[in-house]
């Protein structure tokens, strides 16, 4: 179970037409399919025998590219699948339909696929987008009709095509079913959704984070969710529990789940050992940080593959980072070390005059922001991350020009 942060709609960001302009495909009714797990994708990790390592990244706070910064000691990538966490299912009370929404951080990743997504894919890593509710009553389990489920599947398929993604991950959290007059979970909704999406994306990945009402609504009219999705994994970090998804073989299931920032190294290693010993094909990680954690990752990579993990990236510089948008969205500056900075000096770090709307500050540091150049005009003193400059008095939004960092 993950923290879900405030989201804003795709429509507000001006890119909703990329979803609605595509022609819908006519989808056939749900077929009477068999549960043929043997047709699922192979599950060996990239270039090495063993379970696939899957990693969710909270892109509100961390860089998805970190997934590609870790290799095994013999050169293979540690992570096979990186998942962007997360897009939302919002509810339009006027049209009474579910809509696909992105917040600024997710939008930044998707809109700059050449920077954030394609480099991972060039290393053989699959990049998926996780989808979950947003407290508005809409979720993967309460589409009122098959047509409604098909409509949302089309939005997801369009997103995968538009941004060059490798698939969709479903997470039945934070829907708050019943809000805004929406229905409660029903038996057919999730089956209809994954059936439609599989028809639209026959060669792409579909996974299910085994949690919420959807975890008990995996079969309808003779069709199982497991016959349509590629993988499912346990959702409770620090535990080992086999997802009960009919239609998926052990090689497509992940009973072990860890939070890299809170699960102990000994537990992560133990869970990896159980995964291998019991013949399961997925090992799930969550919350990969921007810092170098290769020592921690080596604990479970040794258990999964008999190989240590090496960090191949550049350790992030310590410093203050300013963001173009509130909630740490939009373009971000390089890390700015301690010192006094006029506008010209700030510009060397990617800062733009009258542009900043939020800031992240290392623990123990103090930042004094000025509305005019050369440390003049209105000033604001900040000693911690500030997500929205409009909350300051007076508002500091889009007016900062020079800065002192101590």
Catalytic residue IDs: 173
Collect all residues with Cβ–Cβ distance below 8 Å to 96 and sequence separation of at least 6: none
Bridge-based pairing state of the strands 321-325 and 239-240: unpaired
Residue with tokens 């497991």: 226
Q: Which two tokens stand for residue 399?
A: 């007016």
Peptide bond into 394 cis (omega under 30): yes
- Report the length, in residues, of the chain: 406
- Pairwise CA distance, residues 6 & 325, whole Å: 14
- Pairwise CA distance, residues 150 & 137, whole Å: 18
- Pairwise CA distance, residues 99 & 230, whole Å: 24
The dihedral sign for the CA sequence 105, 107, 110, 111: negative
- Pairwise CA distance, residues 255 & 277, whole Å: 12
């Amino acid at each position: 179970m993950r923290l879900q942060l405030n989201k804003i709609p795709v429509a507000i960001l001006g890119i909703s037409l990329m979803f609605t302009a595509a022609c819908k495909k006519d989808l056939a009714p749900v077929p009477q399919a068999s549960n043929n797990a043997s047709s699922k994708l192979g599950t060996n990790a990239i270039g090495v025998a063993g379970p696939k390592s899957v990693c969710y990244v909270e892109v509100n706070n961390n860089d998805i590219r970190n997934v590609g910064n870790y290799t095994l000691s013999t050169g293979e990538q540690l992570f096979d699948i990186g998942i962007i966490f997360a897009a939302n299912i919002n509810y339009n009370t006027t049209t009474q339909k579910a809509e696909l929404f992105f917040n600024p951080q997710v939008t930044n990743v998707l809109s700059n696929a050449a920077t954030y997504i394609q480099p991972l894919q060039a290393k053989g890593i699959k990049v998926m987008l996780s989808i979950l509710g947003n407290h508005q009553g809409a979720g993967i389990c309460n589409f009122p009709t098959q047509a409604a489920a098909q409509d949302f599947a089309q939005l997801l398929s369009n997103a995968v095509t538009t941004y060059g993604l490798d698939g969709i991950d479903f997470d039945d959290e934070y829907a708050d079913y019943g809000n805004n007059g929406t229905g409660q979970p029903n038996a057919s909704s999730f089956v209809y959704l994954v059936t439609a999406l599989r028809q639209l994306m026959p060669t792409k990945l579909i996974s299910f984070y085994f949690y919420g009402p959807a975890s008990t609504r995996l079969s309808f009219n003779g069709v199982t969710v497991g016959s349509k999705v590629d993988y499912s994994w346990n959702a409770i970090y620090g535990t080992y529990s086999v997802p009960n998804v009919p239609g998926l073989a052990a090689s497509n299931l992940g009973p072990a789940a860890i939070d890299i920032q809170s699960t102990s190294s000994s537990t992560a290693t133990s869970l990896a050992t159980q995964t291998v010993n019991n013949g399961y094909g997925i090992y799930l990680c969550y919350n990969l940080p921007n810092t170098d954690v290769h020592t921690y990752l080596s604990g479970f990579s040794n258990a999964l593959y008999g190989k240590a993990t090496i960090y191949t990236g550049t350790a992030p510089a310590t410093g203050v980072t300013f963001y173009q948008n509130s909630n740490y969205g939009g373009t971000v500056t390089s890390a700015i070390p301690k010192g006094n900075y006029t506008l010209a000096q700030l510009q060397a770090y990617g800062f733009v005059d009258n542009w900043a709307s939020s800031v992240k500050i290392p623990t123990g540091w103090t930042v004094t922001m000025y509305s005019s150049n050369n440390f003049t005009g209105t000033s604001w003193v900040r000693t911690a991350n500030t997500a929205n400059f409009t909350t300051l008095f007076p508002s500091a939004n889009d007016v900062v020009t020079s800065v002192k960092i101590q």
